[in-house]
Amino acid sequence: LSFTLEKPRTIGILEPQVTASYRLVNADTGNLAMDRPDLIVRISHRSEKDMPQLELGSEKEEVERKLLVRLGEKIGQELYGYYPGDG
């Protein structure tokens, strides 16, 4: 699990993303059923104007929490074909 919050070569502009990998093991056989390396989840912005700025006292933990929520949703979609919050 690896977090990147700031846009490279900029100061104070957030471009949050998390990179994760996971394995799914068959509990009956103990064999590897799925190996997912480098799953990348980003919080994207429609335009430069929408990009959040890293302000004095801003909460990086809140951004990390949102990334973890989206990562969980993405893994749920990959494993089950949907996520309960999809509608």
pLDDT in tens, 7-31: 777 776 678 889 999 999 999 999 9
Q: Which residues of 32-70 are buried (b: 16+ CB within 10 A; e: fewer)?
A: eeeeeeeeebebeeeeeeeeeeeeeeeeeeebeeebeeb
Q: Rounded to an integer, what distance in angstroms lies between the CA atom of residue 22 and that of residue 1?
A: 9
pTM for the model stands at: 0.70
Which pLDDT band, with edges at 50, 70 and 90, does 87 fall under? Answer: low
Cα within 13 Å of Cα(61), Cβ side: 1
